[in-house]
Structure 1
Amino acid sequence: MPQAVAVAQPGTPSSPPPCCEHDRSGGVRARVTIHALRRYGDRILGMEEVLDGLEDVEAVDAMQAAGVPIGAVRRWLAFYGGVGVRHGAVGVCRDGVGLVLKGGRVVTVVSRRSERRRRA
């Protein structure tokens, strides 16, 4: 006799960030990798020296210990990454923060500053 399987309904997406003027996400949110959070700390918050030599999980723990609101950063990345995912983009740029998307996830974060360093 077949067994019933409960399927979780998708949850209500998080609300848009306060800085959002127009919500074009359609409720889609990207998953945010630990690596993307770490790169946000490195490249956007300028914590390269503090996080140098740490694995991604350790780096995110160090960011949290330093007072970085990891949940808020994750929600911001998920929201703007979700806009890109919804529209089939491979990347999104918002406020000088570049999000690289792959398979519905934010896989890394780049900034204009890090882009300039790579070109030099």
Structure 2
Amino acid sequence: MKMYEQIGEFTPDSLIVSPDFPILKSGIGLKPGYGVLKRGSLIVKAADGSGYLAGSTETEAAETSVFGILTDDTDTGTDKTVTDNIPAVAYQTGEFNPEAVKVADGAAVGEFEDEMKKISIFLRAVQNY
């Protein structure tokens, strides 16, 4: 092993705004077949306990509630016939940058802000450098 070698790289994404508010995490099973969900994706939980990307067409007619924001990129695959949910971890509390939170195309993060506040997820604008 070399004395100096690069084994990884971190690129700040400005998702977490402040460490002043406690950040709690919890696991959830994401419904398979929706490809890669990126870090910062807002996840809603359906009545069956499965997690979906907020604002996706699958959640329009369903009773859902905000669950959290994904901590890491998660590959759910492309096969929707798979029955087992894909394990993932989501932030359930904290202060987050609304520009870094991701929802489905056609939806806006602001649509979910009131529901996010109910579980102590707060959106705060930040200045990017």
TM exceeding 0.5? no
Q: Please identify which structure carries the higher strand content.
A: 2
Q: Please identify which structure carries the higher helix content.
A: 1
TM range (shorter): under 0.3
- TM-score, reference length from structure 2: 0.24
- TM-score, reference length from structure 1: 0.25
